[in-house]
Amino acid sequence: MRKVKKCFIVLLVLLSTVSLFSKSGIKNTFSLSDMIFVKGGSFIQQDANAVSGKVNKSFIHNVSSFYIGKYEVSYEIWKSVYDWAVIKGYTFDNEGLPGMVEEIKIEDTGKLPVTNISYYDALVWCNAYSEKFQYEPVYYSADGEVVRDIRNLKREEKKNIYANWEANGYRLPTEGEWYFAARSRGAEGNIKVKQKMTDRIYDVDDISCNKLGLYGVDHNVWEWIWDWYGTLPSGKKRDYRGPGSGDGKITLGGQAYICDHIISGHRLGVITSIKNSFIGLRVARSGQ
């Protein structure tokens, strides 16, 4: 009888733990918030033709060590942080949606990647994610204030948002970091996207991973990147973070809605106010 009672108590504890995870939507130990450490190194960063893979321009990029999200940010994690942020006074242009459920009815498991967010929604959310877990926010306005309210910033003020690269909080990866991680620290060549033109998006953990254990770099949604879109530099660079300004930000990824033969790492400049059902994000953090 004592054994039965003891087992029952253990079962209740386990069930309460599962319930805690499902209700809170996020814990630092929750699997979908895992980060992968990427040791720094050098690789050849390229601007390649989307279909043929022909290299238009390249340079040798020395990238410092960093952490990057094992998965694209799921809607469950996004929503949990979003709700906390709104209570704390953060404002967004868009609430975000899970995958493409706005357009076609897919069962929402909570693990679909968040979509329908602008570039600046992503920056504000990263700052909120950092503060929720007591990390130092990365993104600041020109007057040195933490970016929490995006709606009241004018266009030029938004363009002047800067990153504190020494901060330990969550942020968007740079193009170099994303490409370095997607190619398994530069060990792999351009990766062929595995999906054909599709009418659906997959759960963030229901797709293939590369040798680093990074899911979705050859699949699923595009991902907002820190860098402004522009011509790549020449020669050798260390921690290159894109040009100082531009008309659009880079998105990278598996490219939902695009036919196969496209390479991941294909560069596309997107207007920062754009939101749609096939652009999401993946987070990164600075670190040694």
Count the neighbouring beta carbons within 10 Å of the beta carbon of residue 112.
27
Rounded to 10°, the helix 75-87/119-132 angle is 70
Q: How far apart are CA 204 and CA 110, in angstroms?
A: 10
Residues with pLDDT less than 70, the chain: 1-32, 50-53, 101-108, 188-199, 254-266, 288
Output the pLDDT for position 27: 42
The chain-wide mean pLDDT, for the chain, equals 81
How many Å apart are CA 273 and CA 92, to the nearest integer? Answer: 12
pLDDT in tens, 146-197: 999 988 888 888 989 999 999 999 999 999 999 999 988 877 665 554 444 4
pLDDT of residue 160: 92
Looking at residue 190, what is its pLDDT? 57
Half-sphere exposure of 33 (CA within 13 A, CB side): 18
pLDDT at 150: 85
Residue 209's pLDDT is: 85
43-281 is a CATH 3.40.50.300 domain: no
Amino acid at 256: A
Question: Which token pair is 245?
Answer: 């300004």
Task: Give me the pLDDT at residue 265, please.
Answer: 53
- Measured CA to CA, the distance from residue 124 to residue 138 in angstroms comes to 10
What pLDDT was estimated at residue 195?
Answer: 43
Residue 4 has a pLDDT of 35
Q: What is the pLDDT of residue 259?
A: 46
Regarding beta strands 66-69 and 284-286, do their DSSP bridges make them parallel or antiparallel, or are they unpaired? antiparallel
